[in-house]
Amino acid sequence: MPALAQRPGVAVTLPGPADFPAWRQAARGLVAADIRPEQAEWVVAGELPGLLAQAPAPPPSAAPFSVPRAFLDQAEIAIRHSDPERFALLYGLLWRLVHGERHLMQAATDPAVIRLSTLAKAVRRDAHKMHAFVRFREVQAEDGPRHIAWFEPDHHIEEAEAEFFLRRFASLRWSIVTPRRSVAWDGRALSFGPGGRRADVPPDDAMEPLWRAYYASIFNPARLKPGAMRAEMPRKYWRNLPEAAEIPRLMAEAPRRVAEMVERAAAAPNPRPQKPRHLQAFPRDAGHLSAPPHVARDMPTPIDAPSDPALALAALREELLSRPDLPEFAARATQPVFGEGPLGASLMFVGEQPGDEEDIAGRPFVGPAGRLLDRALAQAGVERRDAYLTNAVKHFKFTPTGKRRIHQSPDAGDITYYRPFLAREVAAVAPQLVVSLGASALAALTGKKLPVLKTRGQVVTGLTGHPVFVTVHPSYLLRLPDPQAQADGFVAFVADLRAAHQSAGAALA
């Protein structure tokens, strides 16, 4: 122990257990001071001091150096893990990236890279469970009703996931209490405080019987797989879920109910089943967006949209949420992912469909392709908050493979189904220029199968009459075969976005 205490080292104290900006700033200072990974000890303020705390960390350095975006993306998530060695793991990888192992993140068999990926996956899974298993109970406060939930995350995800609940329950006043941290929304601002106890949250409310009745009504005894069910809904969450009280009874009754189903036998199939088709949703009255003749055939009765753009978007969301004829893959998605950004934005970006991370977060362009798009927008001089971002298809289409969900490209029928929603979204946003990201978006916007690479950089006319600037989807760059091709492709993509920005500015002038 004395020998260990005499090793030269520095102590780095972080203000919070998942403060990535603080870790990043401190790590830059360590690299600039040539502090090797084994010389640095990372602690969180308020926790027990470490063994190597002989000298304070060097001040942050402005010395420029860069690392692959893949590392930063993974590190920002992995730092929320509860593993006490996560800070050292991240700094060890950073040190290697800066000191000659530039392509380290592509080494799929490297133990540290594998560990980083494992931590990030565990954090994502914990966040997904929080989204799925938080149940609010209503309590009456002096200033009106408030909704409170108890959750026990495995990792430090409370602050990172607060935005999800803010978007989902913006109209409620709510609090989420965890053993380490509490999150509260008062209708105006988010606030964070110390953790609490499960006893601080009421055990039930008037909605409990409804939850239980709903769960019992959708329970299919013929598809009961206890192992898979416990994997997706671990027992640690059961005591927080009102529907969990029904699980033992429903499992015990499953064999009898299945036998009864077999005895009743299935009804004979319809000899002339209705042919499935994608329905359209364009409004056709003169006061609103009209569909072109070749799209307007066989449309259902239109729904009048509000004249106010914000109300039009709200009505569009409600319609999509209530549609009984959604494509089959929409039922497997976590949620529809709508566009975000200001109405009247000069630029509106349209991608293909939400991916895995977008499906979980409920926001467009937050996954790898979205992070690459953010970088490109910044270099092109476009503020993401000033643009409107959406997708042609509003649900994540995927193929389940074990625990992974593999992206599946939408087909022509999927694009046709969602096209009316996209057209009405474009009409409500009323951008100066629509930027088509990739082939699916271009087909949705124009109704034509145009070659993206041949029309790239050109402006074509969309079905709604809006000008459409053509470029590639950022995921195209991620699929390029080598780092040099990706770098060249990124430069060209930035040039496209800059040209679109200038074109929109010219239109405004």
CATH number of the domain encompassing residue 305 = 3.40.470.10
pLDDT digits (tens, 9 = 90+) for 389-424: 999 999 999 988 767 788 899 999 999 999 999 999
Same domain, 25 and 172: no
Instruction: Please report which confidence band the pLDDT of residue 199 belongs to, taking 50, 70 and 90 as the band edges.
Output: confident
| pLDDT at residue number 464 | 83
Same domain, 413 and 333: yes
Give the global pTM.
0.48
Q: Is the pLDDT of residue 465 over 70?
A: yes
Can you tell me which residue has the tokens 């929409």?
Answer: 330
| pLDDT at residue number 4 | 37
Flag whether 401 is in a domain.
Answer: yes
Same domain, 303 and 429: yes
Task: Among 176-185, 309-318, 359-368, 461-470, name the one with the lowest average pLDDT.
Answer: 309-318
Q: Is the pLDDT of residue 286 over 70?
A: no
Highest mean pLDDT among 7-16, 148-157, 222-231: 148-157
| pLDDT at residue number 214 | 60
Flag whether 486 is in a domain.
Answer: yes
Same domain, 244 and 111: no
* Helix, strand or coil, per DSSP, at residue 224: coil
| pLDDT at residue number 220 | 72
Q: How many separate domains does the chain show?
A: 4
Residue 185, φ and ψ in degrees, nearest 5: -125, 120
pLDDT digits (tens, 9 = 90+) for 50-94: 554 455 666 665 567 788 989 999 999 999 999 999 999 999 999
Flag whether 283 is in a domain.
Answer: no
Same domain, 361 and 443: yes
| pLDDT at residue number 139 | 84
Same domain, 310 and 236: no
Instruction: Please report which confidence band the pLDDT of residue 490 belongs to, taking 50, 70 and 90 as the band edges.
Output: very high
Flag whether 479 is in a domain.
Answer: yes
Arithmetic mean of pLDDT, 160-171 = 87
Residues in CB range of 448: below 8 A, 6 or more apart: 442
The answer to whether 155 and 129 are in contact (CB under 8 A) is no
Full domain range(s) for residue 165: 134-200
Same domain, 431 and 473: yes
pLDDT digits (tens, 9 = 90+) for 335-377: 999 999 999 999 999 999 999 999 988 999 999 999 999 999 9
Flag whether 277 is in a domain.
Answer: no
The last residue of a domain, from among 93, 127, 161: 127
Alpha-carbon distance of 66 to 319, in angstroms, equals 46
Helices (H), 177-308: 208-218, 226-232, 247-264, 293-296
Strand partners, 184: 175, 191
Alpha-carbon distance of 180 to 197, in angstroms, equals 9
Arithmetic mean of pLDDT, 476-493 = 91
What type of residue is 166?
Answer: L
Instruction: Please report which confidence band the pLDDT of residue 470 belongs to, taking 50, 70 and 90 as the band edges.
Output: very high
Same domain, 368 and 452: yes
Q: Is the pLDDT of residue 1 over 50?
A: no
Flag whether 274 is in a domain.
Answer: no
The last residue of a domain, from among 127, 144, 169: 127
| pLDDT at residue number 269 | 52
Write the DSSP assignment of 9-65 as a string of letters: -EEEEESSTT-HHHHHHHHHHHHHTT--GGGEEEEETTSPP-S--SSBPPPP-----
Same domain, 74 and 12: yes
Same domain, 195 and 110: no
Flag whether 420 is in a domain.
Answer: yes
More confidently predicted of 8 and 479:
479
More confidently predicted of 138 and 338:
338
For the chain, give the mean pLDDT: 82
Instruction: Please report which confidence band the pLDDT of residue 210 belongs to, taking 50, 70 and 90 as the band edges.
Output: low
% helix, strand, coil for the chain, step of 5: 45, 15, 40
Alpha-carbon distance of 43 to 50, in angstroms, equals 7
Q: Is the pLDDT of residue 492 over 80?
A: yes
Flag whether 281 is in a domain.
Answer: no
The last residue of a domain, from among 159, 183, 200: 200
pLDDT digits (tens, 9 = 90+) for 98-135: 999 999 998 889 999 999 999 999 999 999 889 888 88
Instruction: Count how many Cα atoms sit within 13 Å of the Cα of residue 130 in the half-sphere of its side chain.
Output: 29
pLDDT-above-90 percentage for the chain: 50
Same domain, 421 and 500: yes
Same domain, 481 and 334: yes
Arithmetic mean of pLDDT, 430-441 = 96
| pLDDT at residue number 53 | 46
Alpha-carbon distance of 215 to 213, in angstroms, equals 6
